[in-house]
């Protein structure tokens, strides 16, 4: 049975991006066949409960200690003190969930974007993006692409257009070293131009289709025919 290729999230898309479609294809195929076997979703839930329900840190910590898989448990336990250090200082006037949405790369590819939450402090709206990857965090042009698109999506939302967008990066400087928390104001990240964004997304779309065809066993001639058809009306849809 052929592996089904899922469309990656916006953050994953930016992380996967490479300068050519063939390299993107290789990463996507590898992820589809040997991808991660766990999710950081429980940590997003913990942050939400800390802010909304004022769940005590020890209660959340005990829940993490009960995770059966040792590698996942140790991974989460290395993040928990950093979560507590930051969010225990936050006293929000309100916390709102943010409606998930889709970003159109092309006619056939819709990238999901699901922010965890936003909250208000001292009359300001804070929009944090939590990145729990330990290694290979977003940086350089990939980070610029991500921030550019997120800003574009935020400006379309009247509840978020004045929000302070910041990235909370929980990575480690060395894969074998301890994690740290790096707070990156989105305002400090250079944006990519509209032309460059269009070019980067077209490359990713081509790589995604190559990976999809590879996993589905589509022949080169069939793939070329499909690509020609898609490219015919791709540009106006960015």
pTM over 0.95: no
| Cβ atoms of 95 and 51 closer than 8 Å | yes
Alpha carbon dihedral 149, 14, 101, 124, in 10-degree steps, equals: -60
Which residues lie closer than 8 Å to 114 by C-beta, 6 or more apart?
9, 98, 100
The CA-based angle 16-80-33, given to 5 degrees, is 30
Listed in sequence order, the residues at least 6 apart from 149 whose beta carbon sits closer than 8 Å to its beta carbon are: 10, 14, 103, 113, 197
Dist CA 38 CA 151 (whole Å): 29
- Quick one: DSSP state of residue 43? H
- Specify burial of residue 218 (Cβ count, 10 A radius: 0-12, 13-18, 19+): middle
With a CB cutoff of 8 Å and minimum separation 6, the contacts of 220 are none
So what's the pLDDT on residue 54? Answer: 93
Dihedral (C-alpha) 76, 77, 80, 85: value to the nearest 10 degrees?
-140
CA distance 208 to 53: 40
Q: Strand 109-113 and strand 118-121: pairing?
A: unpaired
Q: What is Dmax (Cα atoms) for the chain? A: 59
| 80 DSSP 8-state letter | H
Q: Which of 1, 53, 5 is nearest to 213 (CA)?
A: 5
CA angle 225, 228, 232 (to 5 degrees): 145
The whole-number pLDDT of residue 218 equals 62
Cα–Cα nearest to 14, from 112, 91, 90: 112
How many CB atoms are located within 10 Å of the residue 181 CB?
Answer: 14
pLDDT tens track, the chain, 238 positions: 456 799 999 999 999 999 999 999 999 999 999 888 889 999 999 999 999 999 999 999 999 999 999 999 999 999 999 999 999 999 999 999 888 999 999 888 999 999 989 999 989 999 999 999 999 999 999 999 999 999 999 888 888 888 999 999 999 998 889 999 999 999 999 999 999 999 999 999 999 999 999 999 864 444 445 445 444 333 332 2
Q: Cα(8)–Cα(13) distance, rounded to whole angstroms?
A: 6
For 105, residues 6+ apart whose C-beta sits below 8 A from its C-beta are 111, 201, 204, 205, 208, 238
């Amino acid at each position: 049975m052929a592996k089904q290729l899922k469309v990656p999230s916006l953050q994953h898309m930016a992380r996967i991006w490479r300068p050519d479609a063939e390299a993107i294809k290789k990463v996507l195929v590898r992820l589809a066949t040997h991808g991660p076997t766990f999710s950081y979703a429980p940590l997003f839930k913990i942050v939400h409960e800390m802010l909304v329900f004022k769940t005590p840190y020890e209660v959340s910590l005990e829940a993490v200690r009960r995770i059966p898989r040792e590698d996942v448990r140790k991974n989460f336990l290395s993040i928990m003190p950093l979560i507590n250090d930051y969010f225990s200082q936050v006293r929000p006037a309100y916390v709102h969930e943010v409606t998930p949405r889709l970003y159109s790369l092309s006619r056939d590819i819709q990238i999901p974007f699901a922010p965890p939450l936003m909250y208000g402090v001292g009359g300001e709206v804070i929009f944090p993006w939590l990145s729990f990857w330990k290694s290979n965090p977003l940086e350089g042009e990939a980070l610029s692409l991500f921030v550019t698109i997120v800003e574009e999506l935020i400006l379309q939302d009247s509840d978020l257009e004045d929000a302070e967008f910041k990235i909370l990066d929980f990575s480690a400087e060395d894969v074998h070293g301890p994690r740290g928390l790096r707070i990156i104001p989105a305002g400090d990240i250079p944006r990519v131009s509209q032309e460059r964004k269009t070019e980067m997304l077209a490359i990713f779309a081509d790589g995604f289709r190559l990976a999809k065809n590879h996993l589905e066993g589509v022949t080169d001639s069939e793939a070329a025919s499909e690509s020609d058809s898609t490219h015919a009306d791709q540009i106006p849809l960015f």
